[in-house]
Amino acid sequence: MEKHIITIVLNDKPYQLLISIDHLEEEITYRVAPGADENELEGIIPENLEFRANGHVKFDERLRTVESEQIARLIWQEILDKLNP
């Protein structure tokens, strides 16, 4: 499993996220976890946030809000920009 660190900017403040890339059979899964800013990201980044290579996002349905979907979209775009050549 590959591991990378990406930085996203939320409310004009940068946050580091840990990205674990799991290459399963025919699918790639990107798992997102808070980095050094874990305490500040609690409640902002959904737990168990995962993306499939096709952009399908998976996270706790209880946290599905417009803001969390916008944050997920921002994270996915950063994954695409930084981790895919």
The confidence score (pLDDT) of residue 55 equals: 72
The confidence score (pLDDT) of residue 62 equals: 55
Domain count across the chain: 1
Instruction: Decide: helix, strand or coil at residue 15.
Output: strand
Alpha-carbon span 85 to 66, nearest angstrom: 29
Alpha-carbon span 35 to 84, nearest angstrom: 20
The confidence score (pLDDT) of residue 50 equals: 84
Which residues on neighbouring strands pair with residue 33, listed in sequence order?
18
Residue 64, domain extent? 2-83
The confidence score (pLDDT) of residue 63 equals: 54
- pLDDT tens digits in sequence order for the chain, 85 residues long: 789 988 888 888 888 888 998 887 778 888 888 887 667 777 677 777 888 877 777 776 655 567 777 888 888 888 888 877 5
Give the closest residue to 4 by CA, choosing from 79, 85, 73: 79
Structure tokens at 67: 């803001």
Mean pLDDT of the chain: 79
